Structure formats: C-alpha cells, structure tokens
Structure 1
Amino acid sequence: MTDHATNRELELLTITEAAEPLRAPVATLRYWRHIGTGPISFRLGRRVLYRRNDLHAWIDSQHDQDQPVALD
C-alpha cells in the first residue's frame, strides 16, 4: 500500500466533512452520536472527528443491511 493510500485511510474528518458524503445535516450526525448509532466517531479535545475508513465502513454496513435475504 502506498503512503498516499495509507494517509487517506487514516484521514480525519470533521463532523461537517463527514456529513457531506452522507448528504445528511450535521444535526443528524450529532443525533446519531447522541443515541449511539451512526458512524464511529471520537473526540479529540473539543472536536468530534471521524476516520474516513470508519465512515465508509459504516456506509457499506448500511448497504449490506438492506440487501434481501435469499430464500431456498
């Protein structure tokens, strides 16, 4: 893996930046954080941050949950 790819995976996003690819209001991410759902986030000082790869993993998990289950 290249250094650029590694840096992108570890890239930290603010709550505003995390809301953009979700096309969700920042208030929604704050609510999800409050009730314990949504993408993994953490505090660094006074700021709430998201790792880019955690955000994309959460998006993928939401997509996987909506897939129909095949019946035999």
Structure 2
Amino acid sequence: MNFLIFIIILVLLFGAVILFSVLGFIRSVFSAIFGIGRRRNTYQTSPDQPSYEADPKSKTKVFAPTEGEYVDFEEVKD
C-alpha cells in the first residue's frame, strides 16, 4: 500500500513538472509574439536626480576637431 502511494505521488510530481514546463514555454512564446509580460523599466530617475542624458559633460566631443572631417575625393579610374 505504501508503495502504491509513493508511485501516485511520484506520478503527480512528474506531471506537475511537465505541466509547469509546458505553461512556461507557452508563456514565453506569447510574450515573444504579443509582448505580454514585458518588464517595465524600474530604474527611472526621479526629478531631483539628474539623468545621464541631461549631463552636459557627456556631450563633449571625444575625438580631436581635425579627426573625421571630410576631405576632397578624387576618383581613380583603372
């Protein structure tokens, strides 16, 4: 009798694992297709905390002024 109860519990646990795996797969497919369950950005800055984009130092040019400028182009014919 104890062995039968053990087998029933084992089958139920195995079925629950399979059920949750299938439900997780279906949820991931739906979230990929429809965008359901996407997490919202919880790291929004508060009004008294300056954001990275508002920092004027972050908009300085990294390269020298002479780098990356356009030069006259001459087409070379073969």
**Is the pair's TM-score, using the shorter chain for normalization, greater than 0.5?**
no
The structure whose residues are more often strand, as a share, is 1
Higher relative CO (Cα under 8 Å, sequence separation at least 6) belongs to 1
TM-score by length of 1: 0.28
TM-score by length of 2: 0.27
The structure whose residues are more often helix, as a share, is 1
- Work out which of the two has the higher radius of gyration on C-alpha atoms and give 1 or 2: 2
